[in-house]
Amino acid sequence: MGRQIAVFGTGYLGATHAACMAELGHDVLGVDVDEAKLAKLAAGELPFFEPGLPEVLQRNIEAGRLRFTTSYQEAADFADVHFIAVGTPQKHGELAADLRYVDAVVESLAPLLRRPSVIFGKSTVPAGTAARLSTRARELAPDDAFAELAWNPEFLREGYAVKDTLHPDRIVLGVDSTRKGNAEVVAREVYAALLEEEIPFLVTDLPTAELVKTSANAFLATKISFINAIAEICEATGADVSVLADAIGHDARIGRRFLNAGIGFGGGCLPKDIRAFIARAGELGASQAFSLLREVDSINMRRRNKMVELAREAAGGSLVGARVAVLGAAFKPDSDDVRDSPALNIAGQIQLQGAAVSVYDPEAMENARQLFPTLEYASDVPTACAGADVVMILTEWKQFTGLDPIELAKCVRQPTIIDGRNCLMPKAWRNAGWTYRGIGRP
Ligand code: UDX
């Protein structure tokens, strides 16, 4: 039997979670303050690009299992299982996470609860947040027993959001170890279909659950910056980091995934999450351990500068008056997300140094234009590359990795390509007359 569930926040995480919970057979109400966004979702339209999610959304709206509202009262009346899935962005001018949206859900929801309910936090938060919110929810609820708070972090990747929600690698549930509660029983009901697939289910205390999420992201970021640091050494010695990654990746303890050297990580999660982790470690007096993560962050940012330098060299020592084509604006392929996108950041820096930059991305044009309105946007690859002195591949879309170097050479002024994701076959491009530069590759 399905449960009645409310999901607060209908951004990437919340919209995906709401639709997927309905797909599991639950009755779901998505709650947000943004009416325009809700109207779109209710009409079965996603405000972002995520393969496979529109179908799940539409199917469940039609089946009557998924609705949307701005009313917290309606949510509290309807559901006794609540998920917090609002954003925790980086604070302006600080490393720390901005928790105002998470706090606002608890502040608004808890006073409206009229029966025993479980609030599951999914948002990524600094360790200690869940315990604080647990106390606060009980204070605000009309009866102490109405508000139980647990933490159930989300590990979804953009581009695989449906799969990661319905078939995750693991389910982690942090419960308040100082009180007896119902959260584990409720979570087992909500995720019954997943547990049948024998997906590992780990029950922890609240801070462990919060830290599982932040450490997983910190580890992934470290892996990427590790290989980018090795790429710097490869550049200095003439070694090839791609071959090296294949070779070390065969060791099962290391693994090949997340060892692609390039312009580094971006997006709405890894950059802000490692920064929030550094900030929290500092507050807790454990800042020395986290000088490692500062280094991870600075190696990552250094790759962006390195790309600008490469472009300057390729343009003959100065970017003033050069035409640069930037292929890719999204922070990774199969996404229209440009939050902290290394591609756009590099495009912006190159333009600031005097080049005419023309950007093309298969999905992220609208978002890119909003964030960086001063860049020039082209309608397709040949238009972006017309008359270019330098072509840069900054997001490894299939459309770009499959480009024909002979064809593309016809539109440019000078056949120079910089492969910021090491996603092209250097030989094929060189044979077609291009000057090819990759990252950490001879
Ligand atoms: C990430 C985590 O993977 C996910 O588990 C978490 O819940 C949210 O954050 P996502 O932001 O969707 O997911 O992106 P991810 O696929 O992890 O890629 C992050 C960035 O790292 C991208 O900019 C990507 O281009 C870059 N990357 C990834 C590399 O530079 N090299 C790699 O080998 C892998």
Question: CB of 303 closer than 6 A to ligand 1?
Answer: no
The answer on 109 and 157 residing in a single domain is yes
Locate 193 and state its tokens: 């279909």
In this structure, is residue 108 part of a structural domain? yes
pLDDT tens figures, 251-270: 999 999 999 999 999 999 99
Confidence grade of residue 287 (pLDDT, cut at 50, 70, 90): confident
Residue 439 has pLDDT above 90, yes or no: yes
Q: State the average pLDDT for the chain.
A: 97
The answer on 222 and 111 residing in a single domain is no
pLDDT tens figures, 132-156: 999 999 999 999 999 999 999 999 9
Q: Ligand 1, atom 6: nearest CA belongs to which residue?
A: 155
Q: Cα(4) to centroid of ligand 1, in Å?
A: 32
Give the model's pLDDT for residue 153: 98
Q: What is the 3-state secondary structure (H, E, C) of the chain?
A: CCCEEEEECCCHHHHHHHHHHHHCCCEEEEECCCHHHHHHHHCCCCCCCCCCHHHHHHHHHHCCCEEEECCHHHHHHHCCEEEECCCCCECCCCCCECCHHHHHHHHHHHHHCCCCEEEEECCCCCCCHHHHHHHHHHHHCCCHHHEEEEECCCCCCCCCHHHHHHCCCCEEEEECCCCCCCHHHHHHHHCHHHHHCCCCEEEEEHHHHHHHHHHHHHHHHHHHHHHHHHHHHHHHHCCCHHHHHHHHHCCCCCCCCCCCCCCCCCCCCHHHHHHHHHHHHHHCCCHHHHHHHHHHHHHHHHHHHHHHHHHHHHCCCCCCCCEEEEECCCCCCCCCCCCCCHHHHHHHHHHHCCCEEEEECCCCHHHHHHHCCCCEECCCHHHHHCCCCEEEECCCCHHHHCCCHHHHHCCCCCCEEEECCCCCCHHHHHHCCCEEECCCCC
Q: Ligand 1, atom 1: nearest CA belongs to which residue?
A: 157
Question: CB of 266 closer than 6 A to ligand 1?
Answer: yes
In this structure, is residue 130 part of a structural domain? yes
Q: Ligand 1, atom 25: nearest CA belongs to which residue?
A: 332
Residue 316 has pLDDT above 80, yes or no: yes
In this structure, is residue 262 part of a structural domain? yes
Give the model's pLDDT for residue 252: 98
Residue 289 has pLDDT above 80, yes or no: no
pLDDT tens figures, 51-60: 999 999 999 9
Give the model's pLDDT for residue 290: 82
Residue 90 has pLDDT above 80, yes or no: yes
pLDDT tens figures, 236-248: 999 999 999 999 9
Q: Ligand 1, atom 28: nearest CA belongs to which residue?
A: 258
Give the model's pLDDT for residue 224: 98
**Tally of CB atoms within 10 A around 322:** 22
**CATH number of 96's domain:** 3.40.50.720
In this structure, is residue 240 part of a structural domain? yes
Please say which residue of 199, 227, 256 terminates a domain: 199
Residue 435 has pLDDT above 80, yes or no: yes
Mean pLDDT across 79-93 = 97
Q: Which atom of ligand 1 is nearest to the CA of 269?
A: 9
Locate 62 and state its tokens: 């039609």
Confidence grade of residue 25 (pLDDT, cut at 50, 70, 90): very high
In this structure, is residue 325 part of a structural domain? yes
Give the model's pLDDT for residue 63: 98
Distance CA 299, CA 337 (A): 22
The answer on 191 and 240 residing in a single domain is no
Q: Cα(285) to centroid of ligand 1, in Å?
A: 28
The answer on 381 and 293 residing in a single domain is yes
Coil, helix or strand at residue 59: helix
Confidence grade of residue 288 (pLDDT, cut at 50, 70, 90): confident
Confidence grade of residue 336 (pLDDT, cut at 50, 70, 90): very high
Give the model's pLDDT for residue 62: 98
Mean pLDDT across 166-188 = 96
Confidence grade of residue 1 (pLDDT, cut at 50, 70, 90): confident
Residue 286 has pLDDT above 90, yes or no: no
In this structure, is residue 208 part of a structural domain? no
Report the percentage of the chain scoring pLDDT > 70: 100
pLDDT tens figures, 413-429: 999 999 999 999 999 99
The answer on 79 and 121 residing in a single domain is yes
In this structure, is residue 207 part of a structural domain? no
Mean pLDDT across 113-122 = 98
Number of domains in the chain: 2
The answer on 177 and 286 residing in a single domain is no
The answer on 319 and 195 residing in a single domain is no
- H-helix or E-strand spanning residue 410: none
Question: CB of 267 closer than 6 A to ligand 1?
Answer: yes
CB 14 within 8 A of CB 85: yes
Please say which residue of 168, 199, 230 terminates a domain: 199
* Residue 423 annotated as catalytic: no
From residue 320, alpha-carbon distances to 124, 315, 432 in Å are 42, 9, 27
The answer on 250 and 153 residing in a single domain is no
Q: Which atom of ligand 1 is nearest to the CA of 160?
A: 12
Amino acid in the structure at residue 296: V
The answer on 253 and 163 residing in a single domain is no
Distance CA 74, CA 69 (A): 8
Domain that holds residue 58: 4-199
In this structure, is residue 205 part of a structural domain? no
Please say which residue of 199, 233, 249 terminates a domain: 199
The answer on 155 and 281 residing in a single domain is no
| Backbone CA torsion sign across 326, 366, 362, 395 | positive
The answer on 266 and 156 residing in a single domain is no
pLDDT tens figures, 378-426: 999 999 999 999 999 999 999 999 999 999 999 999 999 999 999 999 9
Residue 19 has pLDDT above 80, yes or no: yes
Give the model's pLDDT for residue 39: 97
The answer on 144 and 54 residing in a single domain is yes
This prediction's pTM: 0.95
